Structure formats: C-alpha cells, structure tokens
Amino acid sequence: MRICRFDDNQLGIVVGEEVCDVSGLLDMLPTTRWPVPLGDSLIVHLPQVIEAANKLLPHASRKPLDSVKLQAPVPNPTKVLAAPVNYKAHAEEAKRDPGIHQNTHNLEITGFDAPVDKFGLFLKANSSVVGPAEGVALHFPGRRNDHEVEVVVVIGTRCKNIPRDRAYDVIAGYTMGLDMTVRGGEDRSFRKSADSYAVLGPWLTTVDEIANPEDIPFSLTVNSKLRQSSNTKFLTAGIPHLIALATSCYTLYPGDLIYTGTPEGVGPVEPGDVMHIESAVLGSMDVKARIT
C-alpha cells in the first residue's frame, strides 16, 4: 500500500494516479495525554489502519495525484538517523572534491569494510522533516548547500539490539528522502538539521509492496539535468547492517527514519532550483529550493 499525507493533514492511499481520501481512519488513532507515548501514532497502528483502508477504498473519494500537496508521510519520528558516505563512488568523489569534505570529517577509512563502522550514524533533528510540497528553505547564505538523495527506511516497531538476520522484521516501509547538507566545518548534525533539510516523500510504501529492498533504483535531477542515479544494491553497508548498528545504541520507535546514504553526484542547489526525485519502486516528487 502507498500511504500519503496530503493537503491539510489528510490521509490518503495512492492508487495509480489518484489519491483516495481515507482521512476518516484517523479517528482510529487514540487520543493521548501528556507525556505523549514515543513513536508516530499512525505507524504504531499501521496494521489496523491498512486493514480498515482496504475496506474503505472502494467508497473513498478520489483526487488526481497532481492536484494535491504532498506532505511528509511520517511527520513524527522520534529520531532521524543517517549513514555517512555509504556508497563507495560517493566516498571517492568526496575525497576529490574539497567543496564536499572541507574539514567536515576524516575520510580516511582504511581497514574498515564500511565508513559507518568508523564514523557511526549521525542524527538529524526531527524538526527538519518536511514533505515535498513544503520544499527546501536554504539556510547559511553564501555557503554551499548540496542535495543528497537517498532511500529511507521507516521503522515499524519498537526495537533494540536487532541482529542483521532479523532487521527486515522491524521495517514498516520505505520512502525517498533528501538529506540536504550545508558544507563547512561544523558538526554534521548541525549542518544537516536546519528546518526543511530532511525532505521525505512522496509517500510511505509498505514492505509488502517491495519485492527486493536491496534493488531499489532511484535518481535525482536539478532543473531537468541528471545529477544522481544509483541503486540500493550499491550500498556499502546494507539496510540490515544499518539497523543492527542503530539498535546497538538506540531504542528505535515506530516511525523512526534511517536515511541510508547518498550516491555520487551530489551538488549545490540555488533558490528557484527544482529537484526531481524518481524511483520506479517508491514514486517520484518535485522539491523546490527557496530562500528562508
């Protein structure tokens, strides 16, 4: 199932080129009192929502997909984790391009099978999450702001210390993401956590729709010019590796996000640029860059 959040926090199921409005299902979600339980409520109750949605779909009102404003499909992650330099070709371009690696981190990874085994994962503020309709508000005027397109894993259940052979059991689905990055010497989590620097969308594709998460193609263009094109089969540390590493340190909750890493081809964007993300498996979205 392809589940989206659109317009004014409405819930939709994407069928072909239409959005079926199933917002009434949000009444299934329990009301909460302080302290609010950790985890995105929709993802916590995703099995029940999917079951009810299948019954409601034949009667749901429909809108053309291109007529709605798509918001982040998972608005309330407790954590947004990301994998640094997780494609070999990107690691090589980072070494060659001082605009990418300028004093940001040590790219010497000799003796490590994957950079994450040296650098670990880093955190992006959950307040940086936006949907494609909101676009990217460029911060740090005069600095280089780069696009980094990635496949994003959405965690489906509370989990800790998950071994690699059980990693796929804790996933609710997948979506696409932009790990927007300003270059410079500050800590990664500061430079990558500005408002709108974690774009998520166009929708959540549930695990049953994904034949092979280790073979998801994706690409990014800027103003119709191809910048990035790759596939999750080229990940240095695969999805089970990332989940095992993340849960060795953190308890993950439903709706938590893992940005799996970006391939080669990262580059700067300017106000007015339109980034088009395309995946034959996870859908497509347009994201516009603007000034703050």
Residue 114 has pLDDT above 90, yes or no: no
pLDDT for the residue 105: 52
pLDDT category at 112 given cuts 50, 70, 90 is low
Question: What is the mean pLDDT of the segment spanning 221-227?
Answer: 98
> What is the CATH classification number for the domain harbouring 7?
2.30.30.370
Residue 103 has pLDDT above 50, yes or no: no
- CA 164/CA 203 separation, integer angstroms: 26
pLDDT for the residue 207: 98
Shortest CA distance to 5 belongs to which of 134, 128, 170, 126?
134
Look up the domain containing 231 and give its range: 80-291
| Structure-token pair, residue 43 | 């993802």
Which single residue is written with the structure tokens 């300028």? Answer: 102
pLDDT for the residue 175: 98
One domain for residues 101 and 122: yes
Percent of the chain's residues with pLDDT above 90? 87
One domain for residues 19 and 117: no
* Surface-to-core class of residue 284, CB atoms within 10 Å of its CB (0-12 exposed, 13-18 middle, 19+ buried): middle
One domain for residues 174 and 87: yes
Give yes or no for a contact between 88 and 236, defined as CB atoms under 8 angstroms apart: yes
Helix, strand or coil for residue 258? Answer: strand
Q: Which ranges of the chain would DSSP assign to H, the alpha helix?
A: 41-44, 46-56, 88-96, 98-101, 116-119, 188-191, 239-249
One domain for residues 20 and 92: no
Residue 252 gets which letter from DSSP?
A: B
One domain for residues 60 and 89: no
* C-beta atoms surrounding 4 within 10 Å: 25
One domain for residues 31 and 134: no
Per-residue pLDDT tens for 50-67?
Answer: 999 999 999 999 999 999
